[in-house]
């Protein structure tokens, strides 16, 4: 998997190692703002790692409940503002989207660490009529335990910078389907959502999503929007993430490391003895 253009920046640093100082070149994960415009109006500015910007914009619209399917996107394109050297804007034209103008005008300003700043809680998810994901999917514990190593082995930008999150989709046998990296884990998930939306493969009812870091509320709501039955993370989930997962019948796994993991919800999809 090749790193997208502009996702890495080189810089000169000094390294101190056990009393010895060396000057060397280092790689930094790029972080730049992306403005998403809908029907000519600014909708969101998010800090992201450049690359897969169309996917990020499309996935954001899907997981935030602004659109429900690919057919509602009339056009989507990256633009270079006058005087700018590269594109940090994605313009989207929608059709058959029944949102009030004032609702679409509100800005979703999100930092790289939070995808739901200023948003409501589970009640907002209920109003979107998201349904319980596929109850028939089963994944063996041994398969789940292989996923973090597979994820890490394919994180090209992280390997060079040590500064990115990743989200990856796997099938029930642990085969990698798609992977995206970003300075924000919620952006990495939105890039996957945009890939699935634009490629017409939604819902992802037979796949597992693995995210680096913690499994927060925003990751669960985005997984539900994609129809994903199992969410796994290498760190802890939040209390609100667990509450939402239990209410919606989603399998939520945390602390997936080595030969151990903790199931917070939906254990029937991965633990036969817990049935």
CA dist list (Å): 135 to 40, 132, 229: 40, 8, 7
The pLDDT of residue 128 is: 79
What is the average per-residue pLDDT within 78-98? 86
The pLDDT of residue 2 is: 52
The pLDDT of residue 155 is: 72
The pLDDT of residue 105 is: 52
27 three-class SS: strand
What is the average per-residue pLDDT within 159-166? 67
pLDDT in tens, 59-68: 999 999 999 9
Task: Name 27's bridge partners.
Answer: 10
Integer Cα distance of 69 and 209 in angstroms: 20
The pLDDT of residue 127 is: 73
Domains in the chain, CATH or no CATH each: 32-120 (3.10.20.10), 141-274 (3.40.140.10)
Question: What is the value of pTM for the model shown?
Answer: 0.86
The residues annotated with a catalytic role in the active site are 114
CB 192, CB 180: distance < 8 Å = yes
Phi-psi region of 151 (alpha: psi -120 to 50; beta: other; left: phi over 0): alpha
pLDDT at 153 over 50: yes
pLDDT at 272 over 90: no
pLDDT in tens, 167-200: 999 999 999 999 999 988 899 999 999 999 999 9
pLDDT mean across residues, the chain: 86
More confident residue, 34 or 274: 34
pLDDT in tens, 22-31: 898 877 778 8
114 three-class SS: coil
More confident residue, 44 or 100: 44
The pLDDT of residue 111 is: 40
More confident residue, 7 or 243: 243
Could you tell me the two tokens for 252?
């939520």
What share of the chain in percent tops pLDDT 70?
84
Band (pLDDT 50/70/90 cuts) for residue 53 is very high
What is the average per-residue pLDDT within 241-260? 95
The pLDDT of residue 101 is: 52
pLDDT at 116 over 50: no
């Amino acid at each position: 998997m090749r790193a997208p253009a502009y996702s890495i920046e080189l810089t000169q640093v000094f390294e101190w190692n056990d009393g010895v100082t060396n000057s060397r070149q280092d790689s930094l994960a790029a972080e730049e703002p992306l403005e998403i415009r809908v029907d000519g109006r600014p909708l969101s500015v998010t800090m992201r790692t450049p690359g897969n910007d169309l996917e990020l914009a499309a996935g954001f619209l899907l997981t935030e409940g602004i659109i429900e399917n690919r057919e509602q996107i009339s056009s989507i394109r990256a633009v270079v503002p006058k005087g700018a050297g590269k594109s940090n804007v994605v313009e989207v034209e929608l059709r058959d989207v029944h949102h009030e103008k004032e609702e679409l005008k509100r800005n979703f300003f999100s930092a790289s660490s939070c995808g739901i700043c200023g948003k409501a809680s589970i009640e907002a998810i209920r109003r979107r009529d998201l349904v319980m994901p596929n109850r028939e999917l089963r994944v063996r514990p041994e398969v789940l335990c292989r996923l973090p190593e597979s994820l890490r082995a394919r994180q090209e930008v992280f390997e060079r910078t040590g500064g990115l999150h990743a989200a990856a989709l796997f099938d029930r046998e642990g085969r990698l389907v798609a992977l995206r990296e970003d300075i924000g884990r919620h952006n990495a998930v939105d890039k996957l959502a945009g890939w699935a939306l634009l490629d017409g493969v939604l819902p992802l009812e037979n796949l597992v999503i693995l995210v680096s870091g913690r499994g927060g509320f925003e990751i669960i709501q985005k997984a539900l929007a994609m129809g994903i039955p199992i969410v796994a993370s290498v760190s802890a989930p939040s209390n609100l993430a667990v509450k939402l997962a239990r209410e919606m019948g989603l399998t939520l796994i945390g602390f997936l490391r080595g030969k151990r993991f903790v199931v917070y919800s939906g254990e029937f999809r991965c633990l036969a003895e817990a049935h």
